Amino acid sequence: MPSLHLPSALALAFLVTALLAPRGALAASFRVETNALRIKEPASYAGSYDSAIGDFGVPLYGGTLQGRIGHLAANPKGCSNFTGSLPEGVEILLAIRGDCFFVEKAYHAQLAGAKAVIVADNIQEHLLTMAIPEDRPDIAALVPKIAIPVALVQKDAGDRIQSALAADQGAVIVEFDWKESIVHPDNRVEWELWFSTNTACGQACSATSSFLAQFKDSAVSLEQEGFTAFTPHVMLGSCSVWTSEELCHRNCIRGGKYCSTTASSTGAAGELTGRAIVEQDLRHLCVHKVLNETKKAWQWWEYAARFAAHCRPEAGQFTTACSEQQLRDLGVDTNAVGGCVGSLDSGEAHPLLDAQVRAQNERGPMGRVIMLPTLVVNTNQYRGRLNNAGVLRALCAGFAEGTEPPACLNPGVNVDECTQGVDTCWKENGFSACVDTFRGYVCHCPEGWIGDGYHCTDIDECATELHNCEQVCINTPGSFRCECNKGYKLLGGSPGVPGVCIPIPGATGLPVWLILVLTAAAVVSTSVAGITVYRWRTQHAMQDEIRAIMRDYMPLEDRADPEAGRKLLSPRRNGKGPPPVQHAVDDEEDDYSGGYQAPDTRESVRLNPTGGPL
């Protein structure tokens, strides 16, 4: 039988759960996360397909990437370094599946100068998730170096691209589209991190520790400001009837009900036990529970980052004492956390751990979690390199259009289509209806104008008596200004702000004392006028928001055109593809094409070796 390569954390999970019952987790299906891939040119080959996002590389969640694709006959599978650079103008490389790891293909393509790589399957089958072969540390070491998007397409899509290239009808242009890869229903993102406190289980566990430190500040800020709601999760097994009492005690707590899936079962001296791992996993869950009850859930990130940095197994600090020291440094109630953890030897069920088991078995549209770490944004599992920039893009893609936090519009995360001038909104004399959003832009007439965003008309504040000018109102594009009659001068006042008119001494024949009184009165009037205008604008903005909310809840037959005043950027239609719960995780391409493949009934996940070289 050919050798089976699995990610180390995943392999350990199945090694342990071969002896420790898997808690029914096999009942759920693994989800293959996808993005749209479109052949744009030549027109005769145009089409839209789904592609599977790799669990490495950098998918551009919420965005698109378009470029000319090429395929090098001298190295069709990309299993070795490409000689020289890519042909002139080629930005995306097509590689055929087989003979080497997916990671190697992506790495070689990036070295050659590709901005993205598409791997075409060599047999027609369901899409698979390209994962990291962590039992090959030499290959896994390439993963942090891969900074381009990587996607797998089915054989028919790959054949179509190759046919377009062979037809020699000009450049073949393709487009990646990740705008709908993460659902974005509202103005708050719910997300999860499935992880293990064990930092000694290979590259996956090390990646978790690094991520906790990298993303802490971003996570704290988003959580404090109410933009996100975060929940940590851990994966568990349980003792089966044929598990030895010694192994059960070594790897489990509470009479074998809850067992670690990332612990080694060799029993070597000094080895981190599953019992110790489950205890710290539970402590992390309890810390989140205690902090959530005190309205400081965001502080969990500070604790988790500190624990990962200071309480490492290799330093002999993977202990309750080290955990409590981090809690005390953060001002967290250690007694409350300890009370939540309870006795490790109690025969009773623990509500927090039972909740983890239910979450493993009842994943719904999120699909089954089988790789650690796994991050879930709304109902989509995150794919790609686990780092600050990639995860922030994914979270930003989970907000409804126009509701994203300011961090999502920063350069480096967002492309500002409005400043680039690629939008189709109304523009005139330096005014623009374009409003930048993370996923693209929306068209909304600026203040002082009215319209649908594609056609805007100046509001004449003078004619509508919205100006509050004391003597003379002059309309200007998008605003107005106030002036005074002869013998008076304007006090205060600026475009859009009324000001007041006061007499010029000597010009009106009024005594000085009266002018001083009038000036004082003018100052008061200016303040009152400013407040009045501010209140009017606030009320006007609130009314607009209320109307927008009402439109969202009106029956469909009563609604006006929902796209009026809004640019919706290319949602997937023809390329939307199969249901979200799909088939497999394909971990590598050495001498084995299997990995995890769910049967067509989608009731379990099983090993499905097909044999033979790729």
- Report whether 290 contacts 336 (CB < 8 A): yes
Which residue spans within 89-239 are E strands per DSSP?
90-96, 116-120, 128-130, 150-153, 173-177, 189-194, 228-233, 236-239
List the one residue out of 77, 76, 116, 81 whose CA is nearest residue 98. Answer: 77
Considering only 299-303, 459-463, 581-585, which range has the smallest mean pLDDT?
Answer: 581-585
Considering only 162-176, 492-506, 563-577, which range has the smallest mean pLDDT?
Answer: 563-577
Beta bridge partners of 552: none
pLDDT bracket for residue 565 (50, 70, 90): very low
Which one is predicted more confidently, 508 or 366?
366
Model pLDDT for residues 133-170, shown as the tens digit of each residue: 878 889 988 999 999 999 999 999 999 999 999 998 99
Which one is predicted more confidently, 589 or 371?
371
* pLDDT, position 597: 36
pLDDT bracket for residue 25 (50, 70, 90): very low
Q: What sign results for the dihedral spanned by CA atoms 290, 295, 301, 307?
A: negative
Model pLDDT for residues 305-333, shown as the tens digit of each residue: 999 999 998 888 999 999 999 999 999 99
Model pLDDT for residues 240-269, shown as the tens digit of each residue: 777 788 888 899 999 999 999 887 655 555
Q: What sign results for the dihedral spanned by CA atoms 50, 54, 57, 59?
A: positive
pLDDT bracket for residue 555 (50, 70, 90): very low
- Dist CA 63 CA 440 (whole Å): 8
Which residues in the chain are classed under CATH 3.40.30.10? 189-386
Q: Which amino acid is at 411?
A: P
List the one residue out of 193, 200, 194 whose CA is nearest residue 318. Answer: 200
pLDDT bracket for residue 372 (50, 70, 90): confident
Q: Write b or e for each residue in 74-105: b if 16 or more Cβ atoms lie within 10 A of its Cβ, otherwise e.
A: ebebbbeebeeebeeebbbbbbbbbbbbbbbb
Class of domain 34-180+580-591: alpha beta
Which one is predicted more confidently, 119 or 581?
119
- Dist CA 372 CA 7 (whole Å): 9
The answer, yes or no, to whether residue 579 has pLDDT greater than 60, is no
List the one residue out of 237, 232, 270 whose CA is nearest residue 256. Answer: 237
Beta bridge partners of 38: 48, 175
Cβ neighbours of residue 374 under 8 Å, at least 6 residues apart? 193, 194, 381, 382
| Average pLDDT of the residues in 223-246 | 90
- Report whether 425 contacts 567 (CB < 8 A): yes
| Average pLDDT of the residues in 500-506 | 80
* pLDDT, position 513: 56
The answer, yes or no, to whether residue 411 has pLDDT greater than 90, is no
If you compute the radius of gyration of the chain from its CA atoms, what whole number of angstroms results? 31
- Dist CA 401 CA 212 (whole Å): 28
The proportion of the chain whose per-residue pLDDT surpasses 90, expressed as a percent, equals 52
Model pLDDT for residues 421-438, shown as the tens digit of each residue: 778 999 998 899 998 888
- Dist CA 243 CA 604 (whole Å): 23
* pLDDT, position 576: 36
Which one is predicted more confidently, 264 or 388?
388
**DSSP-based three-state secondary structure for 314:** helix
Q: What integer best gives the mean pLDDT of the chain?
A: 80
- Dist CA 522 CA 492 (whole Å): 9
Structure tokens at 307: 């624990």
Which CATH number is correct for 189-386, 1.10.540.10, 3.40.50.1370, 1.10.3720.10, 3.40.30.10?
Answer: 3.40.30.10
* pLDDT, position 57: 95
pLDDT bracket for residue 24 (50, 70, 90): very low
Model pLDDT for residues 30-85, shown as the tens digit of each residue: 889 999 999 999 999 999 999 999 999 999 999 999 999 999 988 999 999 988 77
pLDDT bracket for residue 526 (50, 70, 90): low
Which residue spans within 97-138 are E strands per DSSP?
116-120, 128-130
* pLDDT, position 549: 43
Considering only 115-119, 386-390, 525-529, 566-570, which range has the smallest mean pLDDT?
Answer: 566-570
pLDDT bracket for residue 525 (50, 70, 90): low
CA distances from 39 to 164, 289, 363 (A): 9, 48, 34
Structure tokens at 575: 């390329």
Residue 79: which H helix or E strand, with range? Answer: none
pLDDT bracket for residue 514 (50, 70, 90): low
* pLDDT, position 367: 83
Which residues in the chain are classed under CATH 3.50.30.30? 34-180+580-591
* pLDDT, position 226: 94
| Average pLDDT of the residues in 208-225 | 94
- Report whether 82 contacts 107 (CB < 8 A): no
